[in-house]
Amino acid sequence: MENTLSIQNLRENLPAVIKDLQKGESFVLIYRSQPVGHLMPLSETPKNKSALSQILVRPSKSLLFKSSKRAVKLVRDER
């Protein structure tokens, strides 16, 4: 059976929750007395880990910067 964890408890005890995740524990997240999601270590979800690594290695084309000007120049112009 998975442990339940309220959002408030998650905020207050994040370092301890991270240690529990590293030990392989999973949690059901509870918000306003309703389950809203699962929190589980990446090692339990290799499919998700692979997908995440692909996103980090190769960003979406919509996120890529397209301009003939340098980003620094554009930021300075905005200021």
* Domain tally, the chain: 1
CATH number of the domain where residue 67 is located: 3.40.1620.10
Angle at 49 between CA 14 and CA 35, to 5 degrees: 50
Tens digits of residue pLDDT in 49-70: 666 676 666 666 666 667 777 8
- Quote the domain boundaries for residue 37: 3-78
Q: 62 φ, ψ to 5°?
A: -70, -20
- Span 34-44, mean pLDDT? 84
Q: What is the pTM of this model?
A: 0.52
Alpha helices in 1-79 (DSSP H): 7-12, 14-22, 46-57, 71-78
Do residues 7 and 26 make contact, with C-beta atoms less than 8 angstroms apart? Answer: no
Q: What is the pLDDT of residue 68?
A: 77
Eight-class DSSP state of 79? -
